Amino acid sequence: MGRQPCCDKLGVKKGPWTAEEDKKLINFILTNGQCCWRAVPKLAGLRRCGKSCRLRWTNYLRPDLKRGLLTEAEEQLVIDLHARLGNRWSKIAARLPGRTDNEIKNHWNTHIKKKLLKMGIDPVTHEPFHKESKAEQISSHADDNLPQPGNHQLMLETDGANNMEDNSSSQTENSSSDDPRLLESICNDDSLLNSLWMDEPPFVDGTSWNNQPPPQNISNMSLPSWEDNCSWLLDCQDFGIHDFGIDCFSDIEFNTLTTLEMGESKH
DNA sequence: AAGCGGTACAACCGCCAGTGC
DNA sequence: CGCACTGGCGGTTGTACCGCT
């Protein structure tokens, strides 16, 4: 028996989302929370695959997302985490609040990869190309201990930034970060990085969107746990998207609206 | 102004792990 | 235990945009 497709292929729209579809999806999530994605398109009146809805929400519509390019500090954090974790983008994204795995993956492929190559560093091994022969030796020793961050010391020096392991002052120097204190705390948190490496659930992320259990029952979802982290949803729970006034939004929510407006103006 | 190539990023696809029956 | 189903992940593709000629 073949695997059932995630959605009926017939009548399912593909391609870029319209502002109207975005509004429908946002309205539905605001009203009902995140539950069974398979049912979302039908209930929300969308001719989309549930998977597509989930992707659209998590990668673009989520109100806690930051927009725009990664800051220098975020970029360094990505490099450092990538040295430890490899292409585990979701793990990396979990350490960058407001960033998605897709966004980081894209940024890695379009920006960081080239940057490292330009610097003569292999983006896969994080070793300088001319040292690659030595890399194996080093890595065999590294196995004895907790994973060390490749040779990002060299990368960071080359890049004019500082080492994550020794960044008690460096992060404050990096004024390009949106929230240097947050990044600093993440970078300094060895146990956090260790837990990442060990593939354990990161304790600081217990309330993040990625780990939210869906509301068990829409009818009695008085305070789904995932809303603890998104108080704005509580404010908006009883309203449709059209009922929102700009002033009830924080910057983040405003970004979502702005995105929608921009999208709408395009179409 | 048009054509072209490069870049950035949203979206899709296929696969896998977890879970419930 | 095996199957069906869902959600999540990583890789890849499509396309809009931008700068250059």
* pLDDT tens figures, A10-62: 578 888 888 888 888 888 888 888 778 888 888 888 888 888 888 888 888 88
CB of A237 within 7 Å of some strand B atom = no
- What's the mean pLDDT in A4-13? 58
Among A75-84, A117-126, A128-137, A164-173, name the one with the lowest average pLDDT.
A164-173
Report yes or no: A122 and A132 within 8 Å, Cβ to Cβ: yes
Q: What percent of chain A has pLDDT over 90?
A: 0
- Which nucleotide comes closest to A259 if you measure CA to C1'? B10
- Is the predicted pLDDT of residue A118 greater than 50, yes or no? yes
What integer pLDDT is reported at residue A37 of this predicted model? 84
- Is the predicted pLDDT of residue A258 greater than 70, yes or no? no
Comparing A192 with A213, the larger pLDDT belongs to A192
d(CA A177, CA A183): 8
What integer pLDDT is reported at residue A222 of this predicted model? 35
- The helix/strand/coil state of A191 is helix
Report yes or no: A66 and A178 within 8 Å, Cβ to Cβ: yes
What integer pLDDT is reported at residue A88 of this predicted model? 85
Chain B footprint positions (protein CB, under 7 Å): 7-15
- Interatomic CA–C1' length for residue A105 and nucleotide C17, angstroms: 20
- Interatomic CA–C1' length for residue A2 and nucleotide C2, angstroms: 15
CB of A266 within 7 Å of some strand B atom = no
Q: How many CB atoms lie within 10 A of CB A5?
A: 10
Among A177-186, A238-247, A258-267, name the one with the lowest average pLDDT.
A238-247
What integer pLDDT is reported at residue A103 of this predicted model? 87
Lookup: tokens for A176: 């390009």
CB of A258 within 7 Å of some strand B atom = no
- Is the predicted pLDDT of residue A74 greater than 80, yes or no? yes
Q: Give domain limits for chain A.
A: 19-64+224-266, 72-198
Comparing A142 with A123, the larger pLDDT belongs to A123
Per-residue exposure over A120-158, b if at least 16 CB sit within 10 Å of its own CB, e if not: ebebebbbbeeeeeebeeeeeeeeeeebebbbbebbbeb
- Is the predicted pLDDT of residue A182 greater than 70, yes or no? no
- Interatomic CA–C1' length for residue A168 and nucleotide C13, angstroms: 41
